[in-house]
Amino acid sequence: MPAATLDAFLNSYLGPPDELRSAVVATVRQLTQAATKVRNTINQGVLGTAFAGTRSANADGDIQKDLDIFADDIFLDAMRHAPVALYASEELEQPVLLDSQAPLAIAIDPLDGSSNIDTNVSIGTIFSLLPATGAPDENPAASFLQPGVKQLGAGFFIYGPQLALVLSLGSGTHVFVLSTRLGTFVQAYESRIIPQRTQEFAINAANYRHWDEAVRLYIDDCLEGTEGPRGKDFNMRWIASLVADCYRILMRGGVFLYPGDKRKGYRQGRLRLVYEANPIAYLIEQAGGAATDTITRILEIEPEGLHQRVPVVFGSAREVARITRYHTEPSAIGERAPLFSRRGLFRA
């Protein structure tokens, strides 16, 4: 039986006539067209007109690349042809009002992992679809200050060996790959399920000295392997591309940590709640995983600002829960407690 196309998947999602669902479908279709344009530019590499050149800092203080701006322009233009009231982006200080009567708001990181542009590492685009609330023309920020549980859908494109779309519209997390032969996205994986247990973690270990004690203790216990309280060996992965790390976890499990730390400007982590953490958390939960700020469920956090940062832990549910216990019940974890010592009875 041939795999379903994205169009067939979206048509099945539509069901009876519904304004919001119709708007979501139309928006996803516009996003795929924009992502294909971005992919074509990325594939040209340094031979293209928009690649790894550096510009000034964006609204949130991060250095912009030419490709950041190019991607933002492409997606903003695409959303002008979709039923979208408001467009909020990492690259823009304030949301852009497109159509005050449209039912949707989109928050987007147009080019995630842009520090990897010139190293040929997979980068991507992350998006969150929200209902437009209140009066978009009077208070455009309000639509983006809804907790992540209010998302109508979320996804990301990953520009890697294949152009893939990871998408959830509330009924599982699905993966579609662009078929150049068919000229359309084809479903590669239906309803991904992340294993609850794992022996793989992703974190930037260079920041070890800056971490809080709970994070250091967790990583120490993993690194002790079979000789430590976990009783098993772990592998470490770190791509420094959120979409690439997330895609790997969706494919084979694992846990990702980007905690807050003691460096200036990093107390609340570096990932943005509205257009990075929320859509990723939505995808992860729809795949049976979990996502927290080390303690609180990401999707329940009430945003206070469009560019708000948040610590992030996501992936295999049991491992995420264990990391929460390192923060809330340290006396019951690792070598601090006799039952969890190297010769202990309980080894997760």
pLDDT of residue 191: 94
- What is d(CA 300, CA 298) in angstroms, rounded to the nearest whole number? 5
165 is in an annotated binding site: no
The answer to whether residues 242 and 202 touch, using CB atoms and an 8 Å cutoff, is no
Q: What are phi and psi of 152, to 5 degrees?
A: -85, -20
113 is in an annotated binding site: yes
**pLDDT(28) > 90:** yes
User: What does the block give as tokens for 143?
Assistant: 């639509």
- What is d(CA 309, CA 322) in angstroms, rounded to the nearest whole number? 23
**Per-residue pLDDT reduced to its tens digit, 171-215:** 999 999 999 999 999 999 999 999 999 999 999 999 999 999 999
The candidate with the shortest Cα–Cα distance to 30, out of 85, 96, 83, is: 83
Q: What are phi and psi of 292, to 5 degrees?
A: -135, 175
What top-level class would CATH report for the domain 200-340? alpha beta
- What is d(CA 329, CA 104) in angstroms, rounded to the nearest whole number? 41
**pLDDT(84) > 60:** yes
The answer to whether residues 321 and 216 touch, using CB atoms and an 8 Å cutoff, is no
6-189 and 200-340, same CATH topology = no
Identity of the highest mean pLDDT range in 52-61, 197-206, 339-348: 197-206
The answer to whether residues 68 and 58 touch, using CB atoms and an 8 Å cutoff, is yes
Domain at 6-189: CATH architecture: 2-Layer Sandwich (3.30)
Q: Across the chain, what does the average pLDDT equal?
A: 91
- What is d(CA 332, CA 186) in angstroms, rounded to the nearest whole number? 47
**pLDDT(339) > 90:** no
Q: Name which residue leads in pLDDT, 72 or 2.
A: 72
Cα 285 to Cα 56, 170, 275, 322, 325, distances in angstroms: 36, 10, 16, 16, 19
pLDDT of residue 343: 37
331 is in an annotated binding site: no
Among the listed ranges 29-38, 55-64, 153-162, 266-275, which one has the minimum average pLDDT value?
55-64
**pLDDT(51) > 80:** no
**pLDDT(342) > 50:** no
pLDDT of residue 53: 57
The candidate with the shortest Cα–Cα distance to 255, out of 288, 223, 289, 298, is: 289
130 is in an annotated binding site: no
**Per-residue pLDDT reduced to its tens digit, 270-291:** 999 999 999 999 999 999 999 9
Residues in the chain: 348
Q: Domains of the chain: which residue ranges?
A: 6-189, 200-340
Please report which residue ranges of the chain form alpha helices under DSSP H: 6-14, 19-44, 66-79, 213-223, 242-252, 278-286, 317-328
90 is in an annotated binding site: yes
**pLDDT(337) > 90:** no
- What is d(CA 22, CA 348) in angstroms, rounded to the nearest whole number? 45
What region does 132 belong to: left with phi over 0, alpha with psi -120 to 50, or beta?
A: beta
Between the CA atoms of 174, 21, 78 and 154, what dihedral angle is there, to the nearest 10 degrees? Answer: -40
- How much of the chain, in percent, has pLDDT values that exceed 70? 89
- What is d(CA 142, CA 145) in angstroms, rounded to the nearest whole number? 5
Among the listed ranges 54-68, 100-114, 210-224, 308-322, which one has the minimum average pLDDT value?
54-68
**Per-residue pLDDT reduced to its tens digit, 225-252:** 999 999 999 999 999 999 999 999 999 9
111 is in an annotated binding site: yes
pLDDT of residue 346: 39
Please list the residues that pair with 13 across neighbouring strands. Answer: none
Please report which confidence band the pLDDT of residue 118 belongs to, taking 50, 70 and 90 as the band edges.
confident
115 is in an annotated binding site: yes
Whose structure tokens read 């829960």?
Answer: 321
